[in-house]
């Protein structure tokens, strides 16, 4: 028979590993599964030597979180283990983040962490322990496909908590082993369950910061990890004028307006970071609009394969930021290269971010996959050409 997790067998004979971060969401997952009779094992990952971040509210994976996860496990009466993944996390996430930032990209380390550490290394550990599934506190849904060919990933019923953007790289094989019990709940409902279970973290604040950026300043982390990476260079307008100097492109992000260190009498935004030339390129707001993306490392979990899409393309709905709604787009594949045309242009799209595909704009739409933005094409060059000759040369 099938139980509530779509797993064969009786719950009491079925082991499920729960990734316990110390927050309310994963704690409720462990509590719900324990209440349903599963053989629950809690796993918490030690990812980072947190130092000053240990007692800082709003940072995930800190020492306090490990302590909280242990307290919850004791309250539930389940075994709990802390796995030291610091070396793996540094290699797969922190170092990759630094290299990406230095090259002028805007990486999303939480996606990389799910892709490499949590849904690869931890998943294999769960298998080694004889578990039938790895359950997490993510707000997404997965359901068996009607044709029996595995499971599909969907947005949760609570759009305010949708975390599907951060899970686009989850493979079909991983989806078959993963379970997301909170996909059908709202956050207030989750907290109420935590209170019903008597969990000590029922009212704990959600984590907001990247765990290895306790100050919230990415550039501080890059300078510590890669001394000398902040090389000075020019700030140039899209029309070619030099407007000033900067102390390193790591101090700038696409779309930034304030703190540019220049005064020209008109609002300017960072529209491109050229690592090879060490240039920060600025321009008017219209230069921020992107209409075409070229992706790398695309993961397709829709029907068929990526090769089936072909040059004629397939209509999808795409997200280029987790906080924005999916918008109409056309995905095309030519000679293995994947491009995305956005029907409505997006502002401030940067290489290194993710572009995630959905079947529709519905709140509980199916996730079709996604990829990392390799480069973005927009009106920057058009704006530059239109302004060439209209501006006085720099003196």
Same domain for 18 and 111, yes or no, is: yes
pLDDT number for residue 2? 43
Same domain for 367 and 237, yes or no, is: no
CATH of the domain at 274: 2.30.30.280
Say which of 60, 61, 110, 113 is annotated catalytic: 113
Same domain for 30 and 142, yes or no, is: yes
Q: With bands split at pLDDT 50, 70 and 90, how would you rate the model's confidence at 223? A: confident
* Cα–Cα dist 156/163, whole Å: 8
224 part of a folded domain: no
* Cα–Cα dist 145/304, whole Å: 13
pLDDT in tens, 43-53: 999 987 655 43
Last residue of a domain, one of 220, 252, 283: 283
Cα-Cα-Cα-Cα dihedral of 165, 168, 170, 176, to 10°?
80
Same domain for 51 and 102, yes or no, is: yes
Same domain for 39 and 85, yes or no, is: yes
How many CB atoms are closer than 10 A to CB 59?
24
303 three-class SS: coil
pLDDT number for residue 395? 32
Same domain for 302 and 265, yes or no, is: no
392 part of a folded domain: no
Within 8 A by CB and 6+ apart from 258, the residues are none
Same domain for 157 and 37, yes or no, is: yes
pLDDT of residue 341 exceeding 50? yes
126 part of a folded domain: yes
pLDDT of residue 19 exceeding 60? yes
pLDDT in tens, 266-294: 899 999 999 999 999 999 999 999 999 99
255 part of a folded domain: yes
1 part of a folded domain: no
pLDDT of residue 102 exceeding 50? yes
Same domain for 264 and 359, yes or no, is: no
pLDDT number for residue 56? 47
Long-range CB contacts (within 8 A, 24+) of 309-315: 309/333, 313/341
CATH of the domain at 334: 2.40.30.10
- pLDDT above 70 covers a percentage of the chain that reads 90
Report how many domains make up the chain: 3
Judge whether 60 counts as a catalytic residue. no
Same domain for 124 and 272, yes or no, is: no
pLDDT number for residue 229? 81
The more confidently predicted of residues 50 and 189 is: 189
Sheet with 279-283, side-by-side order of all strands: 242-246, 233-237, 279-283, 269-274
SS (H, E, C) 44-91: EEECCCCHHHHHCCCECCCHHHHHHHHHHHHHHCCCEEEEECHHHHHH
Per the prediction, the chain carries an average pLDDT of 89
* Cα–Cα dist 169/93, whole Å: 14
pLDDT number for residue 62? 60
389 part of a folded domain: no
pLDDT number for residue 331? 97
Judge whether 355 counts as a catalytic residue. no
DSSP 2-48: B-TTS-BS-GGG-EEEEE--SSHHHHHHHHHHHHTT-EEEEEEEE--
pLDDT of residue 378 exceeding 70? no
pLDDT in tens, 155-181: 999 999 999 999 999 999 999 999 999
217 part of a folded domain: no
Q: Which two tokens stand for residue 218?
A: 């990415």
pLDDT mean over 360-366: 93
Q: Which two tokens stand for residue 320?
A: 């280029």
Range of the structural domain that residue 370 is part of: 288-381
pLDDT mean over 118-136: 96
Last residue of a domain, one of 153, 173, 196: 196
Element (DSSP H or E) covering residue 94: none
Last residue of a domain, one of 137, 171, 196: 196
pLDDT number for residue 392? 42
Same domain for 277 and 294, yes or no, is: no
Say which of 60, 61, 211, 355 is annotated catalytic: 211
CATH of the domain at 125: 3.40.50.620
pLDDT number for residue 214? 66
Q: With bands split at pLDDT 50, 70 and 90, how would you rate the model's confidence at 348? A: confident
pLDDT of residue 333 exceeding 50? yes
pLDDT in tens, 145-160: 988 789 999 999 999 9
Same domain for 270 and 292, yes or no, is: no
pLDDT number for residue 294? 96
pLDDT number for residue 49? 64
Same domain for 128 and 151, yes or no, is: yes
């Amino acid at each position: 028979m099938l139980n509530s997790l779509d797993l064969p067998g009786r719950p009491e004979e079925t082991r499920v590993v729960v990734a316990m971060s110390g927050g309310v969401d994963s704690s409720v997952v462990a509590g719900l599964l324990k209440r349903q009779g599963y053989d629950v094992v809690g796993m918490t990952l030690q990812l980072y030597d947190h130092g000053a971040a240990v007692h800082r509210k709003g940072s995930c994976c800190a020492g306090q979180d490990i302590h909280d996860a242990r307290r919850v496990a004791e309250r539930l009466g389940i075994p709990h283990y802390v796995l030291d993944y610091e070396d793996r996390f540094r290699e797969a996430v922190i170092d990759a983040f630094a290299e990406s930032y230095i090259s002028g990209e805007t990486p999303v380390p939480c996606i990389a962490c799910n892709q490499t550490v949590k849904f690869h290394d931890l998943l294999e550990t769960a298998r080694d322990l004889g578990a039938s599934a790895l359950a997490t506190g993510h707000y997404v849904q997965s359901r068996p496909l009607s044709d029996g060919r595995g499971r599909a990933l969907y947005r949760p019923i609570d759009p305010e908590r949708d975390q599907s953007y951060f899970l686009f790289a989850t493979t079909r094989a991983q989806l078959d082993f993963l379970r997301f019990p909170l996909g059908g709940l709202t956050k207030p409902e989750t907290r109420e369950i935590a209170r019903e279970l008597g969990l000590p973290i029922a009212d704990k604040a959600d984590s907001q910061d990247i765990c290895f950026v306790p100050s919230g300043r990415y550039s501080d982390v890059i300078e510590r990890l890669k001394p000398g990476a902040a090389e000075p260079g020019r700030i140039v307008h899209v029309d070619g004028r030099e407007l000033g100097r900067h102390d390193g492109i790591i101090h700038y992000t696409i779309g930034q307006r304030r703190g540019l260190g220049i005064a020209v009498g008109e609002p300017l935004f960072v529209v491109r970071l050229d690592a090879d030339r060490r240039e920060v390129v600025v321009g008017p707001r219209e230069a921020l609009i992107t209409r075409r993306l070229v992706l790398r490392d695309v993961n397709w979990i829709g029907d068929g394969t990526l090769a089936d899409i072909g040059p004629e393309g397939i209509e999808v709905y795409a997200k280029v930021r987790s906080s924005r709604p999916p918008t109409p787009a056309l995905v095309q594949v030519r000679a293995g290269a994947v491009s995305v045309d956005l029907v409505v242009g997006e502002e401030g799209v940067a290489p290194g971010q993710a572009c995630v595909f959905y079947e529709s704009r519905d709140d509980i739409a199916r996730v079709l996959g996604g990829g990392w933005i390799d480069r973005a094409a927009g009106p920057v060059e058009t704006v530059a050409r239109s302004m060439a000759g209209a501006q006085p040369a720099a003196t």
